[in-house]
Chains A and B, each alone.
Chain A
Amino acid sequence: DAKTTQPPSMDCAEGRAANLPCNHSTISGNEYVYWYRQIHSQGPQYIIHGLKNNETNEMASLIITEDRKSSTLILPHATLRDTAVYYCIVRLPHGSSNTGKLIFGQGTTLQVKP
């Protein structure tokens, strides 16, 4: 079973920031938080990942709470092309024998509206 909980759907106005929450209250100290998104019928696209610190790349920012029990993916200026299903995944630590396996939950369907 997935170790994360996400709202099933969210709306965001185009040009505004989209903040997607994820709960992972049973996360272990050495497990990473990964975010992927899947635009309709395409393969999932990697967005960002982090362990403890906040992370930022050209696509998004990842904010992880200090107790690591939840995180938020931020798309700073959402566009219509950001409409997709966003998956938050807790991944076994690097070096674990199961790290080649991702466990997907149901994700959050983000609808960006004009």
Chain B
Amino acid sequence: KAGVTQTPRYLIKTRGQQVTLSCSPISGHRSVSWYQQTPGQGLQFLFEYFSETQRNKGNFPGRFSGRQFSNSRSEMNVSTLELGDSALYLCASSLKGQETQYFGPGTRLLVL
């Protein structure tokens, strides 16, 4: 089985712009979770989607949003980018959310 894929792998944006990141889960997996990793804060949970519905949300501002499509692919969007949004964004998929999560390679976002 193919693993979790994320696109793009690298991205450079400027402050004030918005960005959309994509995640394709393992085939058959319906839960997708997103995480942000920074040197200062480590790995932090952003949100989880299951069957096109947001089921859990971490402590991030409303500029961070996401969605899931009927084929379980998920996107996350960050609007009005700030320098502090520079991070590695990871997504993970699992069958329904309660099983083992498998991570993708991440998207490295640099905000200038």
Binding site for B on A (CB under 8 A): 34, 36, 41-46, 49, 87, 94-106
Mostly, the A contact residues are loop
Tell me whether A96 and B4 are in contact in the complex, defined as CB-CB below 8 angstroms, given that A44-B103, A101-B33, A104-B42 are known contacts: no
Chain A residues whose C-beta falls within 8 Å of the C-beta of B35 in the assembled complex:
102, 104
Of residues 61 to 91 in B, which have CB atoms within 8 Å of A's CB atoms? 88, 90
Chain B residues whose C-beta falls within 8 Å of the C-beta of A106 in the assembled complex:
42
13 A-B residue pairings within 8 Å (CB atoms): A42-B105, A43-B4, A43-B104, A44-B92, A45-B103, A46-B100, A46-B103, A97-B55, A100-B31, A100-B33, A100-B94, A101-B45, A104-B35
- The answer to whether B103 and A100 have CB atoms under 8 Å apart is no
Binding site for A on B (CB under 8 A): 4, 31, 33, 35, 42-45, 48, 50, 55-56, 58, 88, 90, 92, 94, 97-106, 108
- The answer to whether B55 and A44 have CB atoms under 8 Å apart is no
- The answer to whether B105 and A43 have CB atoms under 8 Å apart is yes
- The answer to whether A100 and B48 have CB atoms under 8 Å apart is yes
Kindly name the residue among A34, A98, A101 whose own CB sees the greatest number of chain B CB atoms within 10 A.
A101
Closest beta carbon of chain B to A104's beta carbon, Å: 4
Chain B residues whose C-beta falls within 8 Å of the C-beta of A100 in the assembled complex:
31, 33, 48, 50, 55-56, 94, 97-98, 101
From A41, A94, A97, A102, B33 is in contact (CB under 8 Å) with: A102
Tell me whether A41 and B55 are in contact in the complex, defined as CB-CB below 8 angstroms, given that A102-B45, A105-B42 are known contacts: no
Tell me whether A104 and B43 are in contact in the complex, defined as CB-CB below 8 angstroms, given that A43-B105, A43-B106, A97-B55 are known contacts: yes
